[in-house]
Every structure is written in structure tokens, then in C-alpha cells.
Amino acid sequence: MSMNHDNYHSRIPEPALRRLPWYLSYVKLLKKQGYSKVSSTQIAKKINVSATQIAKDLSYVNVSGKTRVGYDIDKLIGVLEDFLGFKKMHTAVLFGVGSLGAALLSDSGLEQYGLKIRAGFDVNPSIVGQKINNIPVFHSDDFAAKNKKIDAQIGILTVPPDIAQEVADFMIAGGIQAIWNFTPFRIRVPEHIVLQNTSLYAHLAVMFNRLVKEG
């Protein structure tokens, strides 16, 4: 099966891309239960997405399914994991080893999704020099030198919001190409830098808002 990743990644709409991990976890569950084939209708029944939409989403990942028989589960898992980048290990560093940063360093689950955090960086002398989950914590000043060896493309940002922009600029200057921003600060990055904001508080606001409307 030949795939041109760049082509497929640039063409797939983000909502479809966001749904693919749902399909992946569901078909993995089916595999565990001993199934070897799955149809889009079957997936649709469990996940709140129409069978047509599922078939369309899956058409982006270059896996073919026969109308009645459906998709081969092993093949589908492999293709989805590959497409989503979960098979390849991406190297990351993390800035701000506070309560959230330390928790992320402790989360070995990230590695199963293709993210390997190789080092933490902080300025607090009580954290610098420590290891969390066997991941060393260095002083931020040493980042450029350390990253020559680590060669991380991804930088995780878990510093206080008031220095988020400054630290983001610093990471980019040190060679970081993608930032996973956990701070509530809307940082600005040059166009060639990939930015992913993960705001727990924004999700909380949505939940509160819906809760009031429902109640």
C-alpha cells in the first residue's frame, strides 16, 4: 500500500482527522474481542457519526473496504496508526516542569501515541538536575546546546502564562518546529511553526456553558 503522507495530510479536513482516533480505538476494541472485519455501518452504530461520513473519512487514509464485508481490521489499525503518526516516534522536549509539566513527563501513555519526551527544561533550581519518570530536567539556558543532541521537533509548553510567548520564541530559536501549548496564553508563532493549543480551561468553559443550558 503506497501512501503519500504529505498529500494526504494536507488534504484531509481537520474534523475528519480528529475523528480518526475514535475509529482507531473502536476497531482496536473489536480486534480484542476477536473480530477480523468491520463495516462503516458497524462503526457508525457505536460512534455517533454516520456510516457515509465514516466511509468518507476513511477514504483519506487509503484503505479500501468492500461494501458488505467491510474493512480488514488488522489492515485498518495499521493504516490508521501509520496515518496518524502513532507508529513513528516523535521527539519532544517540555518547558516548565511544574505540576502540569511534571504530570506530562510522568505519563508513559504519550509514548504509545508516538510522543517521546526526551528532556524537561526549567529555571527552578529545586527541579533542575532532577529526573522524572527517568526523563532528565535541565536548565532552560542549556536548551540550545542540549537540543543539538536531542534534536527535538516538538516543544511542549507548560510554563506560567506571562512568560509563554517568551519561552515559545526561545524554543523556536533553538530549533523547535511544533509547539503543544498548554498555557491559556494565545502565543504567536511564525507561519512555518505548527501550533496546537490544548486548553483545559476552554473545555471547562464549554462544559459549564452547556450545563447551564441543560439545567
Ligand X SMILES: NC(=O)c1ccc[n+]([C@@H]2O[C@H](COP(=O)([O-])OP(=O)(O)OC[C@H]3O[C@@H](n4cnc5c(N)ncnc54)[C@H](O)[C@@H]3O)[C@@H](O)[C@H]2O)c1
State the minimum distance, in angstroms, from the CB of residue 205 to ligand X.
12
Distances (CA, A) of 129 to 66, 137, 139, 170, 198: 56, 5, 8, 20, 28
C-beta of 16 vs 157, nearer to ligand X: 157
Give the type of residue at 56. K
Distances (CA, A) of 120 to 31, 98, 195: 36, 10, 19
C-beta of 100 vs 195, nearer to ligand X: 100
The SS3 call for residue 138 is strand
C-beta of 24 vs 128, nearer to ligand X: 128
Residue with the shortest CB distance to ligand X: 98
Interface with ligand X by CB under 6 A: which residues?
A: 95-101, 121-124, 127, 140, 158-161, 163, 167, 182-184, 198-200
C-beta of 16 vs 93, nearer to ligand X: 93
Half-sphere exposure of 115 (CA within 13 A, CB side): 21
> Which of 16, 23, 1, 18 is CA-nearest to residue 60?
16
Please, which residues bridge with residue 181 across strands?
157, 197
State the minimum distance, in angstroms, from the CB of residue 123 to ligand X.
4
